[in-house]
Amino acid sequence: MKKTCRIAFWAAVFVVLECVTTAQTTVAPSAFSLGATMDETYKVFGAPSQWYAYSAGSAHFLNSSIERDAALQVYGVRAVGDVYMRQTSANLYRIKVAWLPDETASRLRPTMRVRWLTKDVDKPAPVATILGDLPEAAEICKTGCDLYGVADGDFQVSGSYVLALPSNPSPAQLQTGLLLATNFEGGGVHEAWCIGIMLALKKSGGIWGGGELPNWQGEIASVTISTINPPAVPHDPQPPKKGKRPQERRSGGQTPPVKLGTWIPGSR
């Protein structure tokens, strides 16, 4: 009987430890933060093992610190950034982190801060699915984000995309957006800037999103988290009828954004 009890006891301990280990391995990933310093970012995510350099409108990936240092000499700190891979239970993301030098404290030794993030999505999925898989979206949209469909692209994303903006942006989100947009000067700007999320549709027929107005079911292929000057949205905009696009157009022939609804973390 004693031997049987001992076996049962250790079996129970093993089950408890196994559950604890499983819980630890499924902890949600940490979120990157716009405006965070390089030191703060590396303390959470570690130093990268891959980098990128933007040249001629496209990103070239660098696999050694020697290549990175050479790219910095040629292209400068604004065109060279870090690359991280993030595996979730639902998807795989390649995250490109861009840096911006903050010369507020020192021009000769500026503080490098996160300027924007771009995430390449391994398996394109609907808007709510992608947002629900990103810890950055949970932080930015903690009180909800209004979603707008943009058919023609006018920010850093070409083609069709969905724009997610905090429904009630916090003072910190507004301040960070303004500082990043003005190279940390912050003054003399009349536009409203805020942190937001751009979700670009999967490329279709040689065009990103096929030029169609995005909707909740559109498959997202890449995500950019950046400071955004919100677009002018018509009052009480109505989604177009199925198969048609809005007739009203802004200057330059661009279709006005159409509000798709509101996303709140935890909703699908």
* pLDDT tens sequence across 73-131: 999 999 999 999 999 999 999 999 999 999 999 999 999 999 999 999 999 999 999 99
Parallel, antiparallel or unpaired: strands 92-102 and 145-150: unpaired
- Is the dihedral angle over the CA atoms 212, 216, 221, 224 positive or is it negative? positive
| Amino acid 233: pLDDT | 53
CA distances from 202 to 83, 84, 160, 226 (A): 21, 21, 9, 20
Residue 186 inside a domain? The answer is yes
| Amino acid 15: pLDDT | 38
Residue 23 inside a domain? The answer is no
Say how many residues make up the chain: 268
For tokens 């009349």, what's the residue? 190
- How many domains does the chain contain in total? 1
Q: What is the DSSP string of 206-240?
A: TEEGGGPPP-TTPPEEEEEEEEE-PPP--SS--PP
Residue 4 inside a domain? The answer is no
Residue 11 inside a domain? The answer is no
Residue 20 inside a domain? The answer is no
The range of the structural domain enclosing residue 220 comes to 30-263
How far apart CA 148 and CA 214 sit, in angstroms, is 8
The answer to whether 218 and 162 are in contact (CB under 8 A) is yes
For the stretch 43-73, what's the b/e string if a residue is b when 16 or more beta carbons lie within 10 angstroms of its beta carbon? eebeebebbbbbeeeebeebeeeebbeebee
How far apart CA 258 and CA 70 sit, in angstroms, is 44
For tokens 């021009």, what's the residue? 107
| Amino acid 158: pLDDT | 53
Q: Which of 133, 132, 104, 134 is nearest to 117 (CA)?
A: 134
Low-confidence residues of the chain, pLDDT below 50?
A: 1, 7-26, 155-157, 205-210, 234-253
